[in-house]
Chains A and B, each alone.
Chain A
C-alpha cells in the first residue's frame, strides 16, 4: 500500500509518516501543493492524506484537480479548520473522509485502513471479520478451517453487513441489496434472517438492533 502525505507542518508530517511506516505502509511525503501534484502525476498511490492549508497549491484546488481528471484515489483530508469554517464548506464534494486537528495517530491509521478497505474490496474477494473469513467470489464463510453453513439469503445479508461494518444498515437498505426487481420479498423476513445469523454466528459477531434504524455489526 503506497500512501502520499501532503502536510506542511513538520511535526505532524513526521509523526504520521513514522506511524504509517510502523503499520507497514509505504509513504511519500511533501510539504508543498505543487510538489504533491507532480508526485501524483508521476507515481501511483493508493491513498492521499491531504492537509488543506498548503503553500503552493491550496488543498481544495488539489481535490478539484484530481476529481476533474476523473482520478478516484481515496482522499483523507486533515485540517485545522472545521466544517463550520466557510473556506472548507465546499469540501463534501470531493474528499472521502475528513479529520479535524488535533487528532490521535491511531485515529489516522483507523481512517486510512477503513478507506483502503473500502477501495480494496472492489479488487479482493476476501473479507475478514474477527475470526471469520468471507469469500465474496465463492460465496463461502469460514471460521478458521471450519466451514459455516449459511443459506444464500443469509450469506447476502451477512455480506452486506460486513461491507458496512461499524455502520448502521437499515432494513430497507438490506432488502434493496439482496433482492431484484421481480423478487417478492417481505421486509419483515429480514428479522428472521438476522435472528438466524445471530444463532449461527453467536460466538463470533456483535450484531445489535438499533431501534428505529436497523442493525449494526460492530468490530
Chain B
C-alpha cells in the first residue's frame, strides 16, 4: 500500500528532478562527443602543420630526395608537454626511409589518398598519426615522398578531460542547485497541507469544532468540506442530545405522576401500594439507566462539556457528598486520597454518574443472604506509574472469574433473582471510555471496580 500511494512530496520531487537529470546526462554525452571531435580536429591540424614543416626540409640533391632536418627542430615542432613525437619521410620512388622511424607509416591506409589521419600503436605508445604525400619536381622528373608524423594521445586526452571535467562540474552544480531549490519549493508549496495534517493529527478525534485555518485556494475547498462534515456531525449530536433530553422529560413526567397518584391514593402500609410502588420504581430505574446509557453513548459525545478537572478534588468532593447516602443504606464508607493534584479532561457530571453507578452496584450486591449490608465501601485514588486508578471496593462476596470478565457487558446479570437494569456497569464502561480510561473488575475483600486513566 505504502508504495502505491506515494506522497505528493516525493511525486513532485521525482517529476521535477528526474527529467532534469536525464536531460543533463544527454547533454553531457553530446558534449563529450563534440569536445572529442573538436579537440581532435584542432590537434590533427596542428599535427598536419608540423608535418608540413617537415615537407619544407625536403629537397633534391644529385637526383635523389633528401631531408635536411635538424633533430632539435622536431622537438620544437612537437607540441608542448611530455608526449612522444615520431616521424618518418619515405622516398616513394625508391621505397626507402629517408629519415625518422622505421615502420611508422601505414601505406595501406593511405592508398591513393593524399592525406590520412589514423590511430596507431608504435613502440608501445598510443599514437595519432597523419601521413601525406608530397612531390617535388626537378629536371623534368617527379619525386614522390610520404611524410608521416605521429604524436602520443596524452596531450589531447588531457585537454579533453580538462574541458569535460569543467563541464561536468558546472552541470553537477546546476543539477544540485535545482534539486535543492526544488526541495525548498516543494516544502514551501506543501506547507499548508502539512499544517492541515498536523492540525488534524493533533486534534482529539472526538473534537468536532470546525478546522480554522487560513488556507490557500487549493486547500480551502478541502477544509470547507471537512468543516461541512463536522458541522453535520455537530448538528446530529445536538439533535440527539435534544431528543434524549425530550425523551427524558416525556418519560419521567408520567412516571412522576403515576408515583404521586399512588402515594395520594393509598395508605403507606397498604399491600397494593407497596407492590405497585415497587413496580413503578423499577420502571423508573430502568428508564433512568436507559436514558443514561443513551446520554453517555460515545458516538454522541459533546466535547464542549469536557473541562480540565482536578480529579483528586473531584473524587474527594464526590466522597463527601456520597458518604451520607452510603451510611443511610447501612454500609460504612471510607476514602483513600492521593497526595497529588491530578488534572484530566473530563465531564465531571459524567464522572459522578459513573461513580454513582459503581457505588449503587455495591450497595445493591454487597449484601448477605438476609439482604444486610456487608462492611465498608471504599473509594480510593491511586497512582501506578503513568496511570491513575479510581478503585471502588466493597466487602461483599466478590464474583466468580467468568462474571468478572463479563460484568461490564450490557444486560449481563450475575444474579438473575435480583432486579437490576443490567446497564449499570456497562454505563460505567461507556463513561470510562469517553474519558479514554479503561475498566477492570477484580476480587479483593469483595468486589473491586477500577477505572484506569492514562496520564
List the interface of chain A (C-beta within 8 A of B). Answer: 9, 11-12, 14-15, 18, 53, 80-87, 89, 100-105, 166-168, 170, 208, 210-214, 216, 218
- Pair B260/A80 contact, Cβ less than 8 Å: no
- Give the nearest-CB partner of B241 in chain A: A86
- Pair A218/B244 contact, Cβ less than 8 Å: no
Complex partner residue of A166 from B241, B256, B324, B332, CB under 8 angstroms: B324
Question: In the complex the two chains form, what is the Cα distance from A86 to B347 in whole Å?
Answer: 12
- Pair B256/A89 contact, Cβ less than 8 Å: no
Complex partner residue of B252 from A15, A80, A212, A216, CB under 8 angstroms: A80
**In the assembled complex, B245 has its CB within 8 A of some CB on chain A:** yes
- Give the nearest-CB partner of B281 in chain A: A102
Which residues of the partner chain A approach B335 to less than 8 Å between Cβ atoms?
210-213
* Residues 223-257 of B contacting A (Cβ, < 8 Å): 241-242, 244-245, 248-250, 252-253, 255-257
Question: In the complex the two chains form, what is the Cα distance from A3 to B280 in whole Å?
Answer: 29
Looking at A9, A86, A218, the one whose CB has the most chain B CB atoms below 10 A away is A86
Which residues of the partner chain A approach B336 to less than 8 Å between Cβ atoms?
211-212
- Pair B248/A81 contact, Cβ less than 8 Å: yes
- Pair B334/A211 contact, Cβ less than 8 Å: yes
Question: In the complex the two chains form, what is the Cα distance from A102 to B353 in whole Å?
Answer: 17
- Pair B263/A102 contact, Cβ less than 8 Å: no
**In the assembled complex, B261 has its CB within 8 A of some CB on chain A:** yes
Question: In the complex the two chains form, what is the Cα distance from A83 to B352 in whole Å?
Answer: 11
Looking at A9, A87, A102, A211, the one whose CB has the most chain B CB atoms below 10 A away is A102
- Give the nearest-CB partner of B349 in chain A: A83
- Pair B256/A102 contact, Cβ less than 8 Å: yes
- Pair A210/B333 contact, Cβ less than 8 Å: yes
Which residues of the partner chain B approach A211 to less than 8 Å between Cβ atoms?
332-336, 376, 378
* Residues 322-356 of B contacting A (Cβ, < 8 Å): 323-324, 327-328, 332-337, 349-350, 353
Interface string of B299-338 (1 = CB under 8 A from A): 0001001000000000010011001100110001111110
Question: In the complex the two chains form, what is the Cα distance from A100 to B251 in whole Å?
Answer: 12
Question: In the complex the two chains form, what is the Cα distance from A14 to B334 in whole Å?
Answer: 41
Question: In the complex the two chains form, what is the Cα distance from A214 to B320 in whole Å?
Answer: 9
* Residues 363-397 of B contacting A (Cβ, < 8 Å): 376, 378, 380
